[in-house]
Amino acid sequence: MTGQPVRTACFDEHLVCGGKMVDFHGFELPIWYSSIAEEHRATRATAGLFDVSHMGSFRFSGPNVLQWLESISTQKVSQTPIGRCAYTHFLDHQGHIIDDMIFAVVSESEVLGVPNASMIPIMWQWFTDLLPDDGSVLLEDLSPNTSILALQGPNSPNICAEVFGQLNVPDRFKWQRFDDANGFEGWIQGTGYTGERGFEIFINNQQAPLLWRTLLEKGEPHGLVPVGLGARDTLRLEKGYLLSGQDFLTTNLSDSDSNLPAGFLSRNSIETNAPFGLDMEHQFVGKEAMQNQDNEYKWWGIKYTERGPMPRPGKAIACKAEGDVIGYLTSGGPSPSLENLGIGMAYLKEVEEGDTVVVIASPRKSVQAIIFRPPFV
């Protein structure tokens, strides 16, 4: 995106709530309202409300949509039941991740997907290039007219029931449409980016500000607070969730700002070490190329065992002080849930869970850490 950042439908609501606004991938969004730590802890303990309308919303439809989507994704889409959501990667022809996505199977002929904010035009072109020539699959971009609000935290089901009714409270990774739920229309799914019980609510832009205010009003007795992008990142880090553009990067985009060796973020699904989203029992674009790579590096968590400068993206990790570098951090920082203990995620080679390593956190200080398989909390 170029020019002025895009303001979501809830922009004025963020100002009313005291949001500190920043430019995030071409969107003007709140980084925090009170503080990252307070919002983080509230989401873990009670509930948090996020505006994630910078994320995209695509509709795939047609009689062969499940088979087509399965042929280009790492997930076996055809085995996802109707009304369920699932997670997948999309690989290029060289076997590297272009983007990841949560999708919902609405019916045998309709799927809804959520591409990452900075990847909307790239994924639109990727899907368009791979559409069947016979027109049996249609692609629609619902993003410009759709707002997405994420209600997350242990108290979120009670808040959701008060606003939409008990029948519109889906279970984890379930999807459903709601019509005239206290005047609101859209769809809701039991997904999120915090690792907590929660929901992502898709609604037209015109209704989004009222829904934001209604959720905060009904949620206040349940400890609901508005949450910015800062806590969204610390929450996902504690659960070990990949962040597109930071923990992997399509070869179509430059990684010159990452403080990492050139091409280091060009990764495949095997290297991400993710326990879900990769089904090797079907054929998909990039599968053979991925298998033919050396896959020497794997994405691991690291947890500090002593105090020191925080683990930050781009910092090298060695097997011992002044030893050979075995990889680099892609995400990292203090964990609010662990008394600000340093945690991070890194692509590393020749390590196992429980190994001791050192993070070269600054020119003068290396910090000891252990290899850890997320989630951290």
Are the C-beta atoms of 62 and 217 separated by less than 8 Å? no
301, part of any domain:
yes
pLDDT for 206 beyond 50: yes
Number of domains in the chain: 1
Q: 240: pLDDT confidence band, cut at 50, 70 and 90?
A: very high
What's the pLDDT at 257? Answer: 65
Question: What per-residue confidence (pLDDT) applies to 254?
Answer: 67
- Tens digits of per-residue pLDDT, 135-161? 999 999 999 999 999 999 999 999 999
Lowest mean pLDDT among 16-20, 251-255, 306-310, 335-339: 251-255
| Cα angle: 118, vertex 278, 138; to 5 degrees | 55
Q: Is residue 140 part of a domain?
A: no
| CA 336/CA 42 separation, integer angstroms | 11
Q: Is residue 343 part of a domain?
A: yes
**Rounded Cα gap, residues 222 and 356, in angstroms:** 42
Residues 68-119: pLDDT tens digits?
A: 999 999 999 999 999 999 999 999 999 999 999 999 999 999 999 999 998 9
pLDDT at 215 over 50: yes
Q: In this structure, what token pair is assigned to residue 364?
A: 């003068």
pLDDT digits (tens, 9 = 90+) for 343-364: 999 999 999 999 999 999 988 8
Q: What's the confidence (pLDDT) of residue 2?
A: 57
Find the CATH number of the domain harbouring 317. Answer: 2.40.30.110
Domain-located, residue 355: yes
Tell me, yes or no, whether 67 lies in a domain. Answer: no
Average pLDDT of the chain to the nearest whole number: 96
Tell me what pLDDT residue 158 has: 98
CA dist., res. 22 & res. 32, Å (int):
9
The answer, yes or no, to whether residue 321 has pLDDT greater than 80, is no
Tell whether 322 is covered by a domain. Answer: yes
The pTM assigned to this predicted structure is 0.96
For residue 96, give the amino acid letter.
H
Structure confidence at residue 282 (pLDDT): 97
Does residue 12 surpass a pLDDT of 90?
yes
Q: What is the pLDDT of residues 152-201, one digit of tens each?
A: 999 999 999 999 999 999 999 999 999 888 899 999 999 999 999 999 99
Angle between helices 36-45 and 229-239 (to 10 degrees): 60
Region 26-54: what's the mean pLDDT? 98
Distance CA 99, CA 105 (A): 19
Give, for 68, the enclosing helix (H) or strand (E): helix 65-72
Select from 302, 313, 303, 301 the least CA-distant residue to 339: 303
Predicted pLDDT at 237: 98
Q: Which domain holds residue 348?
A: 296-372
Domain membership of residue 152 (yes or no) is no
In this structure, is residue 317 part of a structural domain? Answer: yes
- 254: CB partners within 8 A, 6+ apart: none
pLDDT confidence band for 323 (50 / 70 / 90): confident
Using the predicted structure, report yes or no on whether residue 256 has a pLDDT greater than 70.
Answer: no
The pLDDT of residue 259 is 84
Reported as a pLDDT band with limits 50, 70 and 90, residue 1 is: very low
Please name the amino acid found at residue 80: T
Residue with tokens 């049996």: 136
